[in-house]
Structure 1
Amino acid sequence: MPQPFERRAFTVGEALVAGIGAGRLRGRDLDRPFHGVRAPGPLDLEARCRAKLLTMRHGQVFSHATACRLFGIVVPSRQEDDQVDVAAFAPNAIPRGVGVRGHRLAAGGTRVRALRGLPIVSPEDAWCQLASTATIRELVVAGDSLLRRRRPHSTREQMRAAVLRHAGRRGHRALTAAFELVRAATDSPEETLLRLDLVECGLPEPTVNLPIHDASGRLCAIGDMAYPEYLVLAEYDGEQHRMDDGQYARDLERLDDLARLGWRVIRFTKRHRGRARTMQLERVREALLARGWSPGSAPGTRTRR
């Protein structure tokens, strides 16, 4: 393809004007992500959105799961597909076409912004829009990623305002329930799911990513799911903890530090599923009981011995 078409998506119309023949536009080396659009080879999500932008009407925006993914918000795996969510504001028609999931948004109830030149709903509104198809746990995972420890996308106040704006829409009850379970400063979906599992099995809610210092004030660890009043720590170890020799060595030093400080550490990995997961959760319960916790007591209340 001649420049400038060899490195970007383009419309069939502009290619024909540039003298590229219809036969060349049917070439197998060209991707056809949307009607009337061609691109040189497979496209990632952002490139697909830029390709779709070529034919979007004024006022249409990227929304729902597509907007979440563009922001880096975690979505259910079933929504990590090649479809692009495009929304129009009422009373305009719902966008249709190959490769498009179309939506209509109520006028005035959604915030819009630009992300790297793409028209897109706000991170908070994108999260709220997931509620039409997502479960409460999926919404909590996505919501936690909005408030992640490093470079968060939003604040609880902004999320609360978005939840109120979406009152009366499909999934609002699940959205409201999920918002109450969202916590700031998590690092991964696995940490979120571990926190939910701990609470759902009747244990007190842990403190998320707690800085742990020694007597000199040196930072020894950031505890994933911590019970500081009982010196019990539930940790999720991703694959990098097993595959990276440097990370493995740091983990050993970290565990030694925690042991010297009196912490009991229970580690979870992706292999802890089903019965194995239940057994690890029971180990957390046993550790808490051994350190003075009793079921039904207020968080942080020790049982006298």
Structure 2
Amino acid sequence: MQATLLARARLFTALVPGSTACHRTAAHIWGLNALSESEDEWPVELAVPRPADVPRSAAHQAALQPGCTVHQATLPPVDVTEHRSVRVTTPERTAFDCAQHLPRPDGVAIVDQFLRRGVDHDALMRRATGFHWLWETLAMADKGAASPRETWLRVILVEGGLPRPTTQIRVDLPGDRLAYLDLGWPEFSLGVEYDGYEHHTSPADRHRDLTRRAALRAAGWRIIPVRRDVIPARSADLVEQVANALIENGWKPAPAQVTRILARLHAARRRRRRW
């Protein structure tokens, strides 16, 4: 039976002197939704201060699969701790490393989750001083995101040139009811919601969504639902749809903003055609 990523991280950090679980592996150990593949297929990511060979005795061979990915780095003691019997980077350092080394949507999704668990956003921003692109990535983080896919949605819209949306928007509905929108622009009464498989596929789910969104429309809101298959395959179409809805609801972008949006739409569609 395949050992869990946590068990393999324990074994690797014990076998390799001075090693520390880092990046997505560390985020997983801290309890985050951080992996882009099955846990069984994910290698242990290690930070080591110098090149190191992993012992490959017969007793450990099976437990070590699918191996490890080594990042040579000397970590200051303040960035290393022990959690669940694993030597691991601290939440703040893990969030910073993921923002620095992962594609922006993935990195921001992990940072969002750490912010929800109490990591200091200002401390992360101070770490990024002098690195403009990294500062921009960390500036996109928002603890209001309730899932990685909601983060992806927000990053796609912002990178598409749209104004930054607010997360978890409270809407008061008739009958003392409340609704919380994933993200949107209250000043334009426009919301965008991610409809994942888990909570939006059964007949009961669909009936609940229809009833809730009818109430939101009656309260003056326009809602754009986004299915899982739209992100990231049809992200350019989504940005265009949301931009048009914002304009219809009163947003008046400056000419430079329109130029930027059109340029990013063109670039995204050109990349999709190459795929």
Partner Cα distance (1:87, 1:254) in 2? 47
List per-residue Cα deviations over 1:252-281 (Å, max 9, x = no partner): 221122112111111110232578543343
Tell me, yes or no, if the aligned pair for 1:190 and 1:236 is still in contact at 8 Å: yes
Change (3 A) 1:130 1:293: closer
Indicate which of 177, 180, 191 corresponds to 1:218: 177
**Structure with bigger gyration radius:** 1
Unaligned runs of 5+ in 2: 57-66, 256-275
Partner Cα distance (1:118, 1:276) in 2? 40
- Asked which structure has the greater RCO (Cα within 8 Å, sep 6+), the reply is 2
Tell me, yes or no, if the aligned pair for 1:211 and 1:222 is still in contact at 8 Å: yes
Match of 1:157 in 2: 122
The Cα of 1:78 is off from its aligned counterpart by 6.7
Partner Cα distance (1:173, 1:226) in 2? 26
Match of 1:20 in 2: none
Q: Which has the higher helix share?
A: 2
The Cα of 1:74 is off from its aligned counterpart by 4.8
The Cα of 1:121 is off from its aligned counterpart by 1.0
Match of 1:68 in 2: 27
Q: TM-score, normalised by structure 1?
A: 0.68
Instruction: Note if 1:96 corresponds to 2:53.
Output: yes
SS at match of 2:188: coil
Match of 1:46 in 2: 6
Change (3 A) 1:162 1:214: same
Aligned pairs for 1:1-305 within 5 A:
41-57=1-17, 59-75=18-34, 77=36, 81-89=41-49, 93-97=50-54, 99-106=67-74, 108=76, 110-130=78-98, 133-148=101-116, 152-163=117-128, 173-214=132-173, 217-219=176-178, 221-272=179-230, 276-296=234-254
Partner Cα distance (2:99, 2:142) in 1? 17
Partner Cα distance (1:206, 1:179) in 2? 16
Partner Cα distance (1:290, 1:277) in 2? 20
Unaligned runs of 5+ in 1: 1-40, 298-305
Partner Cα distance (1:276, 1:104) in 2? 37
Q: TM-score, normalised by structure 2?
A: 0.75
Change (3 A) 1:272 1:101: closer
RMSD: 3.0
